[in-house]
Amino acid sequence: MQCNVCEFRCEINEYSRGRCGTYICTGDTIVQDPGLGYLGAYPISIETVPLLHYHPSGKFLQVFSTGCNFQCSGCVARLLASSKPLSHPSLTPSQVVDKALQQECLGVVSTLNEPAANYYLFRDLAVQAKEKGLLAGCSTNCYFTGETLNKLGQLVDFVNVGIKGYSDNSYINCGVPSSAPVFRNISQLFDMGVHVETSVVYSRGNEDDVRKVAEAVSDISPTIPVQVMRFIPFGDAPLELEPSAGEAEKLCTSLRKHVDYVYLFNSPGTDLLNTYCSECGSLLSEREFYGPMGSRPLKPWISYTCNCGKSVPVKGKNATESFNEEGFIGGYRISRAFGMVHAVLTCLGILDDSRLMDIWGEISDTETLMRVYHMIQQPYDYLEFIRLIAEKANVPEKGDELISFIRTRLELVHYLAAENSSHKVYYCMGSPLFALNSDRMENNLVTFSGGVSINKQLQKEGKPGINISPSFINEHNPDTIFISGFLSRPLDEFYGLCRQYGIDADAVKQQRIYAVPPSWDFGSPRWILGLMYIADKLHPGNSGIDLQKEADEFYLQFYGMPFEEATPNRSFHRPSSGPWPRHVMRCIHV
């Protein structure tokens, strides 16, 4: 039988479950795999979805399942999105609704994986949610058939449509023949009165395509917000495709000639997460970076009307207080926690995705995720995280091998740290004005190396950090500045921003600003290399650390490849972009 949920219209029979792998045929009916349910349900602020013009600061229950009909390179949640139904217990729609009511959420929202892969499950959730007076919505690639969209538009109150680009080629890269159904569906949802916001991926080289997306959205309505997602190669895509934050800011500015509201994500410290009046340019709502694809209001959005009289099209009342998610709970930080588990398993030689999913199922409850969150913030505590995952994977001896490697280097750096306790360090992410939280692993690496982290003076908290003023940096006058290896910015742009903001600390004057290599300071066991990198910079000419040798030993022992063969990306678990060489695959399974 033909499945008519999405435009692929797969044939479902006893031999095929369709492109997304979640549908089966029973008699003359296509149904959802009976084993499919929601793998998690966490309360989030609506800006984490992200949605910026809908019930600002509202608390919603985020849910996700498995399955996706697209195959996008660099996907932020590839395994969660593309895996087949899991064997461990999952939540039913009625359980999700009960949970949303208990936690006093305004509604439910499906994210992380594609709802087209769970259409019947999501349909039941939306119906039950609305029966209980809850709102319902989703993040989607919006590749539904016209007949399905007609039904979906009557069930949902809001959607964030992830657009891959305007050209067919941008969709072909995701294994999809054409972009036309997506823009058709956006127009139809908007006409049906559904609140629509759009997000578009910006990778280096597709600037014209992003502009055409803005033009196409404007043809539907210039009031539809366009969220530009600066491409971060979390998967197998090369680092060269990642545009700098500065390049992304310039592109976003140019889009404002087409649409009224343009926002930039994945760029810590940018002011393009704020809402400005489309008529006079006045600041109306101020936000800061809140993890991958997320944002957080800095204060309640009091009025949707500017002093000049221009109104912003926002649906719903603003909550008086924004809901703040804890640890890894909520939004795309769930996928980061997943990536950290994946990173450890890779170092333990486990590349079987099905084993990864089974282990994730054992630790994805809220209590264990909070334990993991605290484990990964301190060097020695991280060893217990490795031990936990190795035990779940039934390879304790492999865990001991990784722990031993890290512990030996910790002892070396601990010896060095005794020599210096006055070198002041500032740690930021992407922008000099976005400071990493005081309790994060990166700042603890600085302290462990013998430096004094000025970030420890910050009282306010956010995820993963907060916006600060130039005066904070100048007053504390750091000797060295490190830029996070998770989301960074080219040094020439960074120094330019320091000049623009009037930051004249010794680190700037003496050009002691360093960009930590990707995933060497957070998210992966490779942080031990980042620790040695930091220690070497804090003890120049006196550390005795041969970083090239250490990197080679780590990559050979735990990835089966020499360091020089690795082409870096932002992935926690992949030491190199693109397919791994065959000799690597053989070696890592030994």
Share of the chain above pLDDT 70, in %: 95
Please tell me whether residues 225 and 148 are part of one structural domain: yes
Distance CA 198, CA 218 (A): 11
Please tell me whether residues 522 and 426 are part of one structural domain: yes
Please tell me whether residues 468 and 376 are part of one structural domain: no
Query: 373-406: per-residue pLDDT in tens?
Result: 999 999 999 999 999 999 999 999 999 999 999 9
272 belongs to a structural domain? yes
Please report how the helices 333-347 and 353-363 are oriented relative to each other, as an axis angle in degrees rounded to 10: 120
Please tell me whether residues 366 and 424 are part of one structural domain: no
Residue-range definition of the domain harbouring residue 449: 419-545
Query: 142-151: per-residue pLDDT in tens?
Result: 999 999 999 9
Please tell me whether residues 89 and 164 are part of one structural domain: yes
pLDDT at 466: 94
Please tell me whether residues 106 and 163 are part of one structural domain: yes
Query: 214-254: per-residue pLDDT in tens?
Result: 999 999 999 999 999 999 987 778 889 999 999 999 999 99
560 belongs to a structural domain? no
492 belongs to a structural domain? yes
Residues near 345 by Cβ (< 8 Å), separated by ≥ 6?
Answer: 351, 355, 356, 359, 389, 393, 573
Query: 264-293: per-residue pLDDT in tens?
Result: 999 999 999 999 999 999 999 999 999 888
326 belongs to a structural domain? no
Tell me, letter by letter, the H, E, C secondary structure of 181-242.
HHHHHHHHHHHCCCEEEEEEEECCCCHHHHHHHHHHHHHHCCCCCEEEEECCCCCCCCHHHC
The number of beta carbons lying within 10 Å of the beta carbon of residue 154 is 12
Count of the separate structural domains present in the chain: 3
Please tell me whether residues 233 and 374 are part of one structural domain: no
Which CATH number fits the domain that encloses residue 531? Answer: 3.40.50.1980
Q: Which of 84-88, 107-111, 416-420, 516-520 has the lowest mean pLDDT?
A: 84-88
Please tell me whether residues 72 and 188 are part of one structural domain: yes
Q: How far is CA 384 from CA 376, 407, 555, in A?
A: 9, 12, 21
Residues near 509 by Cβ (< 8 Å), separated by ≥ 6?
Answer: none
Tell me what the pLDDT averaged over the chain comes to. 92
Query: 183-206: per-residue pLDDT in tens?
Result: 999 999 999 999 999 999 999 999
Residue of higher predicted confidence among 66 and 347: 347
pLDDT at 84: 60
